[in-house]
Amino acid sequence: MKKRRFGSHLPGVSVSHHKETANIPIIPMPTPKKVIIPMIQQIGAECQPLVKKGDHVLVGQTIGDTEQRISAPIHASVSGTVTAVQEFVTTQNVVTYAVHIESDGLQELDPSVQPPQVDSLESFITAVRRSGLVGLGGAGFPSHAKLNPKTLDSLHTLVVNAAECEPYITADNRAMVEYTKHLFQAIETVMQYLELDQAFIGVERNKPEAIALLRKRETDKIKVKVLPTRYPQGGEKVMIYEITGQVIQEGKLPGDYGVLVMNVSSLAFLGQFLETGMPLVNKWLTVAGSAIAIPKNVLVPLGTIYRDIIDFCGGYSAEPGEIFMGGPMMGISVFNDNFPVLKNNNAIIALAKEDVYTPKESPCINCGKCIQACPLRLMPCMFDRAGQVGDVDTLRTLKINLCMECGCCAYVCPADRQLVLANKLGKKLLREAQQKGK
């Protein structure tokens, strides 16, 4: 994505929105011929495959699970035959297994797909785990664990993160427009079983259609908060501060302040699951960028290969220079379009070669723009310097561990310093030093 060449006195950055798909309804894609479903799709433990080559599977059947708490079961997204269970390397270079399924085109449902019986907190948490839900905004934290924290008794406020501040992505916006009823049902259910006093839906101002629909359903306890359009408004700490005025201190979690944050698409899905019992087997996502012929919002079975989805969107209109899983600011650049859609994948953004900005680093000129842009008021230029000479003490003192890798610093840097990369390496240095007890 092209960079903006100047900073601002406000933290965060003003990025081009590119929300051209905002008014395009979510279209279901025809069932693909095959899907590849990796056994790790969330923060936490990987699942163990529960099927083997040759097995016949049905939609919604559990094909991967684990007894570890921080994890979520994985379900078949198509009916058909398991053609392989083989090693798979994730974008984070983690080696896991993936279940390959050849679709029979029938989309036969597993008999276990039934609306859950929910009448208590315990049965609610059990149902959420059964759904396979993880944070759909990108974080991928298992939702049943989030809804059952140690600090459950002190929770009082639900913050629904509907900022969708990344350029191009409009999947959350469409969820708010098309699944408003399910979104509110889920908010009410979460509030009921967790005994919360209030909920706020934090949405950026550039989503007028969604805001109008949300406002129609506002209640005394569920309020819509319209926020300035400024990246990274959807950062968890930024969102909590904007809505509640609460600063989350180092080492603390939102739950320590009585706040639970959930992504808006996660809640919209949860509302649907409570009604139908269909676990997380499909994903709505935005397919956009200058290399995509017909940008769309699509509903696809999990594990669908990027290339198949891009073909459904008319193929490439230009040679892609970079393909992102997620947005161009915090998304992950994938090596090719053979990658499968995962649970927390909210967009496929393919940029034409001429639109890919390749930074050419030059020495830091001490302009301080990276510090002005940092939403957490960190000092990325100092991290960069300290990291280069392995100065772990400075990295620790300046709190590199707080960096959320939002990319605002790199976006405004006139010297094209690769500050996010430097921050990642700096955090790794600090972790390694901590492990060695230094």
* Tally of helices (H runs) and strands (E runs) in the chain: 13, 17
CA atoms within 13 A on the CB side of 353: 2
Our finding on whether 376 is near ligand SF4 (CB under 6 A) is yes
Contact between 326 and 137 (Cβ < 8 Å): no
Q: Provide, rounded to whole angstroms, the least separation between the CB of residue 285 and ligand SF4.
A: 24
CA 159/CA 165 separation, integer angstroms: 16
Binding residues for ligand SF4, total number by CB under 6 A: 28
Q: Provide, rounded to whole angstroms, the least separation between the CB of residue 403 and ligand SF4.
A: 3
The window from 63-71, 103-111, 255-263, 414-422 that contacts ligand SF4 (CB under 6 A) reads 414-422
Q: Provide, rounded to whole angstroms, the least separation between the CB of residue 412 and ligand SF4.
A: 6
Q: Provide, rounded to whole angstroms, the least separation between the CB of residue 60 and ligand SF4.
A: 39
Instruction: State the binding string over 314-353 for ligand SF4 (x if CB under 6 A, else -).
Output: ----------------------------------------
Closer to ligand SF4 by Cβ: residue 136 or 413: 413
Q: Which of 126, 405, 421, 425 binds ligand SF4 (CB under 6 A)?
A: 405
Our finding on whether 364 is near ligand SF4 (CB under 6 A) is yes
The window from 69-77, 145-153, 314-322, 399-407 that contacts ligand SF4 (CB under 6 A) reads 399-407
Q: What is the DSSP string of 336-347?
A: STTPBP-TT--E
Our finding on whether 407 is near ligand SF4 (CB under 6 A) is yes
Our finding on whether 259 is near ligand SF4 (CB under 6 A) is no
Q: Provide, rounded to whole angstroms, the least separation between the CB of residue 362 and ligand SF4.
A: 8
The window from 22-30, 50-58, 379-387, 390-398 that contacts ligand SF4 (CB under 6 A) reads 379-387
Sorted by sequence, the CB contacts under 8 Å of residue 29 that are 6+ apart come out as 298, 299, 300, 301, 304, 308, 309, 312
Instruction: State the binding string over 118-147 for ligand SF4 (x if CB under 6 A, else -).
Output: ------------------------------
CA 335/CA 306 separation, integer angstroms: 11
Our finding on whether 162 is near ligand SF4 (CB under 6 A) is no
CA 316/CA 423 separation, integer angstroms: 33
Closer to ligand SF4 by Cβ: residue 270 or 415: 415
CA 61/CA 1 separation, integer angstroms: 40
Taking phi first (over 0 means left), then psi (-120 to 50 degrees means alpha), and beta for anything else, what does residue 411 get? alpha
Q: What is the DSSP string of 238-277?
A: HHHHHHH-----TT--GGGGTEEEEEHHHHHHHHHHHHH-
Q: Provide, rounded to whole angstroms, the least separation between the CB of residue 419 and ligand SF4.
A: 6
Our finding on whether 240 is near ligand SF4 (CB under 6 A) is no
Other CB atoms within a 10 A radius of the CB of residue 181 amount to 14
Using a 10 angstrom Cβ sphere, with 0-12 exposed, 13-18 middle and 19 or more buried, the burial of residue 404 is: middle
SS3 307: helix
Can you give 228-245 as a three-state secondary structure string?
Answer: CCCECCCCHHHHHHHHHC
φ and ψ of 237, to 5 deg:
-70, -35
CA atoms within 13 A on the CB side of 379: 12
Which element (helix H / strand E) includes 409? helix 408-412
Our finding on whether 368 is near ligand SF4 (CB under 6 A) is yes
Instruction: State the binding string over 172-211 for ligand SF4 (x if CB under 6 A, else -).
Output: ----------------------------------------
Q: Provide, rounded to whole angstroms, the least separation between the CB of residue 434 and ligand SF4.
A: 19
CA 321 to chain centre: 23
Instruction: List the structure tokens of 306.
Output: 């990027």
Our finding on whether 374 is near ligand SF4 (CB under 6 A) is yes
Q: Which of 100, 174, 369, 427 binds ligand SF4 (CB under 6 A)?
A: 369
User: What is the side-by-side strand order in the sheet with 62-65?
Assistant: 48-49, 62-65, 74-75
The window from 35-43, 135-143, 187-195, 360-368 that contacts ligand SF4 (CB under 6 A) reads 360-368
Q: Provide, rounded to whole angstroms, the least separation between the CB of residue 428 and ligand SF4.
A: 14
Our finding on whether 62 is near ligand SF4 (CB under 6 A) is no
Q: Which of 380, 386, 387, 427 binds ligand SF4 (CB under 6 A)?
A: 380
Q: Provide, rounded to whole angstroms, the least separation between the CB of residue 435 and ligand SF4.
A: 22
Sorted by sequence, the CB contacts under 8 Å of residue 137 that are 6+ apart come out as 161, 172, 234, 263, 264, 265, 266, 344, 346
Q: Provide, rounded to whole angstroms, the least separation between the CB of residue 50 and ligand SF4.
A: 39
Q: Where do contacts with ligand SF4 occur on this chain (CB under 6 A)?
A: 364-370, 373-374, 376, 378, 380-381, 384, 403-409, 413-415, 417, 419-420, 423
